[in-house]
Amino acid sequence: MAVNEMHQRIWQVLGQIPPGKVVTYGQVAELAGLAGKSRMVGRCLGQLPEGSRLPWHRVINAQGKFLCRWAVKDTTVR
């Protein structure tokens, strides 16, 4: 499977996350048919084009935290 195809599958799942809901990187991977590839999901989200309208901010880690390079405070989902 080509990298671009994997990205497309992940981005397609990302586009289906409804407002007000969050999912884990692992759940995105599983829904994209890439079970066990949660880190790949993270890398893919980091490569989203600037200005993308996909809801990358609805993806959290398995511990309920929002992870990104620019997070500066505790972002635990309550």
pLDDT at 52: 86
In this structure, is residue 8 part of a structural domain?
yes
- Residue 59: beta bridge partners? 23
Within 8 A by CB and 6+ apart from 26, the residues are 36, 38, 41, 62
Give residue 50's pLDDT band: very low, low, confident or very high (50, 70, 90).
confident
Tell me if 37 is assigned to some domain: yes
What amino acid is encoded at 7 in this protein?
H
Cβ atoms 15, 29 nearer than 8 A: no
Quote the percentage of the chain above a pLDDT of 70: 82
pLDDT over threshold 90, residue 33: yes
Q: Treating both helix axes as pointing N-terminal to C-terminal, what angle do 38-46 and 3-14 enclose, rounded to 10 degrees?
A: 90
**In total, how many domains does the chain have?**
1
Q: What local confidence, expressed as pLDDT, does residue 3 receive?
A: 63
Residue 15 structural domain: 3-60
* The pLDDT of residue 48: 84
Query: Residue 78: what pLDDT?
Result: 54
The model's confidence at residue 67, banded by pLDDT at 50, 70 and 90, is confident
